């Protein structure tokens, strides 16, 4: 009998139908991936298993776990199962741990609660578990608080909590979405090892087919609360029988058609010919004072950006890639004059902006706009689109009157594929992808020569991401806007940029044409990024190799 058998599961919350007859099964020791975009119901399926649904939820069907129907289980039964037989790992490691409790307390708590062992023994087991997930006591004692750990380390703590009592079923809901590619690979490897070691069943929830292609034995693809397709991983991904599966697979490796057409174009490579580049950064450094260790002593200053030089030509698109914490966002802030460098110079459009007083930065700010990662967080929810999009207009020398402003907003909205009538709406009336279009419209309204985009598509679903990348490519081709694209996602870099700068520990360690660098990385940092980046085709090729090897292996005993 299967470890988990979901039959015709329905869920409605406050009358809205969320799940419409989901079927799914999982064996012990098996990895099942549930893939879908936001709103597909994949996370709600997981919360149904935990019986941690929001108030007002109604469920139907059957969820048989280890011989017991979870939909009929009492809260007391669920308390016994949660954290003991079923463990769960969540998406956002930065907020998943209680900030006022030590990691030791948080791992030991579940152990003490379920096994009723004493504090000392629970702490001993917690220490062993933390050691197993890669947080050895010598470097990460139990007395650490979450804020003293990085995102990847915190996710290891969450995994230690979930796996502390050797659950039969582990549910991981987008466990690596908030992490950079190298950390993503480490965490996925850890999960796979734990699953093999403890023969757990793993339900791995993800929006990214490439991520699960390497991990999963079987895949279930969901859309709008229904299972679209399910089956063995390589069969599903090779056949791409269902149109939606095909769409997901293609969207995750999408290259905008404008760029495909213009592919052989000979772009002025970094810091070579172009007589006067749009942006020129020379031996730029940004140091932060070290942490205080005594009244008169400090740690050595932290050098977030060290001696970085590069230039961006008019209409050129440059990717800045690197792991989280490599200094790429600091570099972007310094370029945008939101932060001052501690060394070096920045010349933008013929002007040294690093030494310009704030009051004289208007012209530079007008010609250099920014698009942030989080379209939800970058708008005031109480303002209408007209006001939000027209915000940068205060940078103009001649303030437009009301009619001119409306015309400018209209044009900007049309540039990004929205309607002029959208200017009367509020941000919550738009989807995530549309909101990112709004923030691009806001950036475009002053007709900038350069847009700095900090992870502009990483919060979006793959198919929406493809559309937004198309938009970026289109604006580049039509309006000649240059980009500095900050990303940890190499697919995005490949899709949209001419040149790439690879950053590591505050320095640029490799640079050149994007395709060439990503196909043939030289530096260790670039190699690590490329090797860790999920890649659907590579994963499938690896699978068929192991398959063949297994088929050729002589059958013994």
Binding residues for another protein, rule: CB under 8 A, are 50, 52, 75, 78-84, 87-88, 90, 92, 95-102, 104-106, 109-110, 113-114, 141-145, 147-148, 158, 161-162, 292-295
Q: Is 168 in contact with 26 (CB distance < 8 Å)? A: no
Whichever of 143 and 421 has its CB closer to another protein, that residue is 143
Please, which residues have CB within 8 angstroms of residue 274's CB and are 6 or more apart in sequence? 268, 311, 313, 314
Shortest spacing between CB 95 and another protein, in angstroms: 4
Whichever of 42 and 114 has its CB closer to another protein, that residue is 114
Shortest spacing between CB 108 and another protein, in angstroms: 11
> Which of these, 355, 383, 349, 388, lies nearest to 367 by C-alpha position?
349
Whichever of 155 and 220 has its CB closer to another protein, that residue is 155
Q: Is 389 in contact with 409 (CB distance < 8 Å)? A: yes
Whichever of 106 and 434 has its CB closer to another protein, that residue is 106
Shortest spacing between CB 412 and another protein, in angstroms: 35
Whichever of 142 and 221 has its CB closer to another protein, that residue is 142
Q: How far is CA 193 from CA 3, 18, 93, 420, 473, in A?
A: 19, 33, 20, 53, 40
Shortest spacing between CB 55 and another protein, in angstroms: 8
Q: Is 220 in contact with 33 (CB distance < 8 Å)? A: yes
CA dihedral of 56, 61, 64, 67, whole degrees rounded to 10? 110
Q: Count Cα atoms within 13 angstroms, Cβ side, for 511.
A: 17
**Alpha-carbon span 202 to 206, nearest angstrom:** 12
Shortest spacing between CB 22 and another protein, in angstroms: 21
Shortest spacing between CB 84 and another protein, in angstroms: 6
Whichever of 93 and 506 has its CB closer to another protein, that residue is 93
Instruction: Give the helix ranges, DSSP H, for 416-554.
Output: 432-444, 462-479, 490-496, 514-519, 524-532, 536-552
Q: Is 413 in contact with 420 (CB distance < 8 Å)? A: yes
State both tokens at 360. Answer: 């004289």
Please, which residues have CB within 8 angstroms of residue 76's CB and are 6 or more apart in sequence? none
Shortest spacing between CB 132 and another protein, in angstroms: 18
Shortest spacing between CB 46 and another protein, in angstroms: 10
Whichever of 141 and 515 has its CB closer to another protein, that residue is 141
Whichever of 4 and 318 has its CB closer to another protein, that residue is 4
Q: Count Cα atoms within 13 angstroms, Cβ side, for 138.
A: 0
SS3 content of the chain, % helix, strand, coil (to 5): 40, 25, 35
What DSSP designation does 325 have? T
* Strand stretches in 82-214, DSSP E: 86-89, 169-173, 201-206
What DSSP designation does 358 have? G
Whichever of 114 and 511 has its CB closer to another protein, that residue is 114
Whichever of 162 and 501 has its CB closer to another protein, that residue is 162
């Amino acid at each position: 009998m299967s470890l988990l058998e979901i039959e015709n599961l329905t869920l409605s919350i406050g009358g809205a139908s969320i799940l419409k007859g989901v079927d799914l099964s999982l064996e012990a020791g098996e990895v099942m991936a549930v893939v879908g975009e936001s709103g597909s119901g994949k996370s709600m399926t997981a919360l149904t298993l935990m019986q941690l649904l929001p108030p007002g939820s109604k469920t139907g069907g059957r969820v048989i776990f280890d011989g017991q129907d979870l939909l009929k289980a009492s809260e007391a039964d669920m308390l016994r199962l949660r954290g003991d037989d079923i463990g769960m790992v969540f998406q956002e490691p930065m907020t998943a741990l209680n900030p006022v409790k030590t990691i030791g307390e948080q791992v030991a708590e579940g152990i003490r609660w379920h096994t009723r062992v004493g504090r000392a023994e629970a702490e001993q087991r917690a220490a062993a578990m933390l050691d197993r997930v890669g947080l050895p006591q010598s470097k990460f004692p139990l007395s650490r608080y979450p804020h003293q750990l990085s995102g990847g380390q915190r996710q290891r703590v969450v995994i230690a909590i979930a796996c502390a009592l050797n659950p039969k079923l582990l549910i991981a809901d987008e466990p690596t979405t908030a992490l950079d590619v190298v950390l993503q690979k480490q965490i996925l490897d850890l999960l796979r090892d734990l699953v093999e070691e403890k023969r757990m069943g793993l339900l791995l929830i993800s929006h990214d087919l490439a991520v699960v292609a390497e991990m999963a034995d079987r895949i279930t693809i969901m859309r709008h609360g229904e299972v679209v397709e399910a089956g063995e991983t390589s069969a599903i991904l090779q056949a791409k029988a269902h149109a939606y599966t095909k769409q997901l697979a293609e969207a995750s490796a999408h290259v905008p058609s404008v760029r495909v057409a213009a592919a052989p174009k000979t772009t002025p490579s970094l810091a070579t010919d172009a007589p006067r580049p749009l942006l020129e950064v020379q031996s730029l450094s940004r140091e932060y004072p070290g942490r205080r260790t005594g009244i008169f002593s400090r740690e050595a200053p932290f050098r977030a950006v060290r001696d970085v030089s590069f230039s961006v030509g008019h209409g050129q698109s440059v990717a800045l890639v690197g792991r989280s914490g490599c200094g790429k966002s600091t570099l972007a802030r310094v370029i945008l004059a939101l932060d001052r460098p501690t060394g070096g110079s920045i010349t933008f459009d013929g002007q040294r902006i690093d030494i310009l007083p704030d009051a004289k930065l208007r012209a530079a700010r007008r010609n250099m706009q920014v698009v942030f990662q989080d379209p939800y967080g970058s708008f005031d929810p109480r303002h209408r689109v007209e006001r939000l999009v027209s915000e940068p207009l205060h940078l103009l020398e001649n303030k437009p009157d009301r009619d001119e402003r409306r015309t400018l907003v209209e044009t900007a909205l049309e540039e990004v594929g929205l309607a002029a009538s959208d200017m009367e709406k509020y941000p919550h009336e738009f989807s995530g992808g549309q909101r990112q279009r709004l923030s691009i419209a806001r950036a475009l309204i002053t007709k900038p020569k350069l847009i700095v985009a900090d992870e502009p598509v990483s919060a979006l679903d793959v198919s929406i991401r493809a559309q937004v990348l198309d938009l970026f490519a289109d604006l580049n081709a039509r309006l000649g806007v240059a980009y500095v694209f900050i990303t940890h996602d190499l697919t995005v870099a490949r899709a949209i940029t001419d040149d790439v700068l690879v950053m590591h520990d505050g320095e640029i360690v490799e640079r050149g044409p994007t395709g060439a660098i990503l196909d043939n990385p030289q530096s260790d940092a670039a190699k690590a990024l490329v090797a860790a980046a999920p890649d659907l085709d590579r994963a499938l090729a690896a699978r068929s190799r192991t398959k063949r090897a297994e088929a050729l292996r002589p059958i013994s005993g």
